[in-house]
Chains A and B, each alone.
Chain A
Amino acid sequence: MSDKPRKFKGGVHPNDSKALSATKPIQVAPLLDKYKVIMHQNIGAPPELLVKKGDLVKKGDLLAKAGGFVSVPLHAPTSGTVSAIDKCPGPTGIGVPAIEITADGEDAWGAALEPMADWPNRAPADLKQRVWDAGIVGMGGAGFPAHVKLSPPEGKKIDTLILNGAECEPYLTADHRLMLEQAEEVVLGAAILARILGLDTAVIGVEDNKPDAIARLKEVAGKYNVTVQGLPVNYPQGAEKQLIYAITGREVPVGKLPMDVHCVVQNVASAVAVAEAVIKGWPSIERITTVTGKPVVNPGNWRLRIGTPISKALELAGGITMQPSKLLLGGPMMGIAQKSLDVTVMKNTSGILLIASDEVSLYTSEPCIRCGRCVEVCPMSILPATISQAVENKRFDWAEELNVMACIECGSCSYVCPSHRPLNQHFKRGKIEIQAQLRKKK
């Protein structure tokens, strides 16, 4: 591990606006009357429902079991009654099945997972099973089941575990506060993850704009042979492939996975979830979420149960002062636009962001002037301008030739485009059409 991290090609420097909530300590949200747990929170197969309407559940009880290997179970966020299993607005705008739990106010734990305080003596396979049983997914935003990344196929040797604490998205400070306030658990989670992978070290990558978090992590990192690596501030530093390059100098080839270059990357929040699952036996039923934006009265970081409606999270933050014109789950660069306040917090909801109407530029898309700025900033070294034209003309075969599938949808190209072309949306469309064609061929 070199002391000086490498700088990946491209990237942008948007105004990070993190000052709104970076100094606000994590607050625990009070218990609500109702939680709506969205069924399908992970990438991969949806889980299988285990409860029915009218069932009594305790906190941490299974609501649904994993529907396959690339799938995770769901747990009750509090004790109470399953009052409905119906549709709830999903994060992608389409109604999705959700389990509504009416809390009984006792918040009593059920038959929880057994704590494994003696984890250094446990077999890695048992620890991995625990990660799965606790329903932990990538909490940085993607929602990919954590245990799958910890199960490299035979023949693929893993030599580096990287914890992602870059948090390069503007506005978001949830991971920052987590690393400051729960540094021991971050490091402990790193050590447990390293044990599962058969490693004895881990690296935590943190962007240099969080010097306090780096200092705090360095204080406690020595205990488990974990190193902390400061990273240059450059969006998207927290993207998996860019992070691996910055820390190890290895490039993940197009269409390959981090494990092909012997790396596993997990988010710091996932590491804390792993530590809590192993040491305390807590399943993944809450997470730290940043509620922020100019219209929010009191932006900050909250420990929210999974299934908390966004409207309630905004109430916690004191409500809004002005009419927002955009609501995003996640950060401003990669967050998903919402049209309903009834969407609930999921395991990968790192932020709830409101954008005021005077902050939104309502540009219309103009023709490409071939200035090449998108090509300069693209961290994946593809040609956004050309690919967007291919997609616009429904030439998906051409877009595929131009490697649209390598796009990580970071939005840097849309950010710099002087013609305000919706490049990122074109790539999303192109990727979906190409995947649909692949499925058809199969």
Chain B
Amino acid sequence: MSITWIAISSAGVLGVVLGGVIGVVAKAFAVEVDERIERVGELLPGVNCGGCGFAGCTDFAKAVVTEVAKPSQCPVCSAGDINNIAEYLGIVVEEKEKMVAVVRCSGDYSHTVRSFYNGVRDCRSAVLVAGGAKGCDYGCLGFGSCADACPFGAIEIRDALAVVHPELCVGCENCVAACPKNLIIMTPAAVDVHVYCNSPEKGASKMKVCKTACIACRKCVKAAGEEQMLVDGFLVKTNYANPPQSDLVEASACPTTALRLGTKHAEGAYQGVSK
């Protein structure tokens, strides 16, 4: 018998023996994986945005299967996706309302007073220098910390203003905490009328620094009624519990264009009014 045959046969025997060991061990120490978790994971979007409050999609899938979380907690899934998951797991889910983010500021570069700023291009750093270079203490700084935080590319920085594209926004809320001015709120996607201003200052002092500020002239309140548009000091807010119709924006003819439709704002339809 040549040395070649010895090598081949010994390696073969060794292979068979070790293969057998692996087979036995794999059976004896098998980790039981709930196949439902894998299946639910496949049905989830898989972007790991963290909007549900779990570490990622797999973690959330585990929580859904063990009934710690409900499928509707995923902000990214459409109603159809959630139905698929619920159907697969044989559970009943309630309808969830889709939420989108709104940056409550319309003060872009052309319509606001700004100081010169040459520092770090990041909102949370920029706010350390004189509270941001904007004349308005409350407005969007436009360095895009929220856009960086958005895993879906739904926030665009246009003319130094953060603009949310409602059709891309899934409502994961990652941007909310990124804004140093606390400008971003989550609103029901069905409501399109928003006040793009968050400054509680008096109308005159707002107008000094921004041409598109809400000056609380109440035109929209008169047109829609006190229940639909709420007056809070020198600022009007949409009542999201009892929202106005989309035609309010045209009907009220907001003199500063602070009252806008979210969809048209994203398209860049409002140019502001310069007086």
Contact = CB atoms under 8 A, between A and B. Distances in A.
Contact of B128 (A95, A339, A364, A429): A429
B119 interface: yes
Chain B, interface SS category: loop
Interface in A169-209: none
A431 to B, nearest CB: 10
Given A92-B130, A93-B137, A422-B120, A339 B125 contact: no
A429 B120 contact: yes
Interface string A331-346: 0000011110000000
B120 A425 contact: yes
A336 B130 contact: yes
Interface residues of B, number: 16
A338 B133 CA distance: 9
Contact of B131 (A92, A364, A428): A92
B132 interface: yes
Interface string B120-158: 101011001111110101000000000000000000000
B128 A428 contact: yes
Contacts of B135: 339
Nearest to A362: B118
Contacts of B118: 362-364
A93 B209 CA distance: 14
A325 interface: yes
B116 A426 contact: no
B115 interface: yes
B124 A425 contact: no
A339 B120 contact: no
Interface string A364-376: 1100000000000
B131 A93 contact: yes
A375 B118 CA distance: 23
Contacts of A362: 118
A428 B128 CA distance: 8
Contact of A337 (B122, B124, B129, B137): B129
Contacts of A94: 131, 137
Contacts of A325: 116
A363 B118 CA distance: 8
Interface in A391-439: 392, 422, 425-426, 428-429, 432-433
B119 A425 contact: yes
A325 B119 CA distance: 15
A422 B130 contact: no
A339 B113 CA distance: 11
27 contacts: A92-B131, A93-B129, A93-B131, A93-B132, A93-B137, A94-B137, A95-B137, A336-B130, A338-B130, A339-B130, A339-B133, A339-B135, A363-B118, A364-B118, A422-B119, A422-B120, A422-B125, A425-B119, A425-B120, A425-B128, A425-B129, A426-B125, A428-B128, A429-B120, A429-B124, A429-B125, A432-B128
Given A337-B129, A339-B115, A339-B130, 20 more contacts: A92-B130, A93-B129, A93-B130, A95-B137, A336-B130, A337-B130, A339-B131, A339-B133, A339-B135, A365-B120, A392-B120, A422-B119, A425-B125, A425-B128, A425-B129, A426-B120, A429-B124, A429-B125, A429-B128, A432-B128
Q: Which 10 A-B pairs have the closest CB atoms?
A: A93-B131, A93-B130, A94-B131, A429-B125, A339-B115, A339-B130, A422-B119, A337-B130, A422-B120, A425-B119
